[in-house]
Amino acid sequence: MSNRPERPRLATAAVVVLAGLALAACVAGSAESGQSASGGMIAQFLLGLWHGIIGPVMLIGEIVGRFAPHLLPWKLHFYETRATGAAYDLGFYLGLAGGPPFAWSRWRR
């Protein structure tokens, strides 16, 4: 049994909803993502980092969109094709390497 106090369910649900909205707002292939991809090196690095972190979820979404195209209301991409810089690539691979599994393992300790 842990000594950690239980969080209220409403607060947990709010965090999940906000995280889902943030995830959906900046997926690869969206208009906002394309705008950020045309920015400077820091914007491209951060965009790549974010896309790397959410990459596993976007891969599942892209597979669903490929085999059931009418199931999702938008088109998802695993990788931003309009980002052509090395900064985006570096951020993307760093995000994939240290993404959700790393964050979850640190949070659970």
Which tens digits make up the pLDDT trace of 55-103? 888 888 888 888 888 887 777 777 887 787 898 889 889 988 886 666 5
Q: Which of 80, 75, 51 is nearest to 64 (CA)?
A: 75
Summarised one tens digit per residue, pLDDT across range 16-53 is 878 776 666 666 666 666 666 677 888 888 888 888 88
pTM: 0.64
DSSP string, 32-90: HHHHHHTS-HHHHHHHHHHHHHTHHHHHHHHHHHHHSTTTSSS--BSS-TT--SHHHHH
| Residues across the chain | 109
Are 44 and 89 contacting, i.e. CB atoms less than 8 angstroms apart?
Answer: no
